[in-house]
Amino acid sequence: MFTVLTQPPADLDDTLSVWIPIRSGTVYTDPGGGLWRSPASPVSDGSAQRAFLGVLDGHGVWAVDLDPADGPALDEGDLEPVPLRKLYGRIPDEHWQIAGRAAQIVEFERTHRYCGRCGSPTRTNPSDRAKICDKCGHMAFPRLSPAMIVLVERGAEVLLAWGRQFPGRFYSALAGFVEPGESLEDAVVREVREEVGITVGNVRYFGSQPWPFPHSLMCGFNCDWKAGEIDPDPDEIVDADWYTADNLPPVPRGGMSISGWLIEDWLERMSAG
């Protein structure tokens, strides 16, 4: 079990901490598989920034920032570098989520060493995950970008789209970032209208997922078609259409992303009738 903390508790058993060294989104792991566990940091270079993430099964968890590329070196030469995406499935899901948190926290620490308002050096807030500027009082928090992903349903059909950013022919639910001033539900309705030109309603929350590439929070929804014909935005969508369960294009199934969970859930409901 993982408990989120910003400071090590006084009674922490530090005999076998978990260390997550990260350089440009690549996590250095135990070559035997799993996160690296050791009594001491695998980086003795004092210039390496570290951040406490919490306690995993009684042991402290630390993120260590190895950026830039010519920055601090690992003392342990045999740690295996694995890009965060590829780490999925190789370690328990809870550990993968912690590694994603580590990537976001080291990015936050590295990009908030100076105040964005007055340029003075900041210090770490002892109680919250935040940086404080003592000169002007400005506080900065880790950047988190809410995004929505939605599966539009019409009777026994779902709308699936081949996004222009996908590397190959691959269909998925529609997704987009939430804009300032709108609710998640507003974003669902707007994005669907912008991307495929149809009107939707009955927006229902499905679940959410931290998505550390680099700092999104994906919020999943189902909704129903109300009106209009599909008219894809050519800047974003290569192709979009309605599909039934027995006639699906290449789609994510289950796996690491909420788009796969949405489609899996819909297929289960369809097969249950």
Q: What is the DSSP string of 229-269?
A: -----TTTEEEEEEEETTS--S---STTSHHHHHHHHHHHH
Count of CB atoms situated within 10 Å of the CB of 68: 10
Per-residue HEC secondary structure of 105-149 comes to HHHHHHHCCECCCCCCECEECCCCCCEECCCCCCEECCCCEEEEE
Nearer to Zn ion, 4 or 136 (CB): 136
Is residue 65 within 8 Å of 106, Cβ to Cβ? yes
Using CB under 5 A as the binding rule, whether residue 114 contacts Zn ion is answered as no
Among 16, 136, 144, 156, which residue sits at the site for Zn ion (rule: CB under 5 A)? 136
User: What's the closest the beta carbon of residue 105 comes to Zn ion, in angstroms?
Assistant: 21
Using CB under 5 A as the binding rule, whether residue 121 contacts Zn ion is answered as no
Residue with tokens 């340029």: 119
User: What's the closest the beta carbon of residue 118 comes to Zn ion, in angstroms?
Assistant: 3
| Beta-ladder partners of 200 | 225
Among 35, 64, 66, 115, which residue sits at the site for Zn ion (rule: CB under 5 A)? 115
Region of 46-54, 133-141, 194-202, 251-259 interacting with Zn ion (CB under 5 A): 133-141
User: What's the closest the beta carbon of residue 115 comes to Zn ion, in angstroms?
Assistant: 3
Using CB under 5 A as the binding rule, whether residue 138 contacts Zn ion is answered as yes
Among 117, 143, 164, 226, which residue sits at the site for Zn ion (rule: CB under 5 A)? 117
User: What's the closest the beta carbon of residue 49 comes to Zn ion, in angstroms?
Assistant: 20
The CA–CA distances, whole Å, from 115 to 126, 137, 140, 220 equal 17, 9, 8, 34
Nearer to Zn ion, 40 or 118 (CB): 118
Provide the binding-site residues for Zn ion, judged by CB under 5 A: 115, 117-118, 120, 133, 135-136, 138
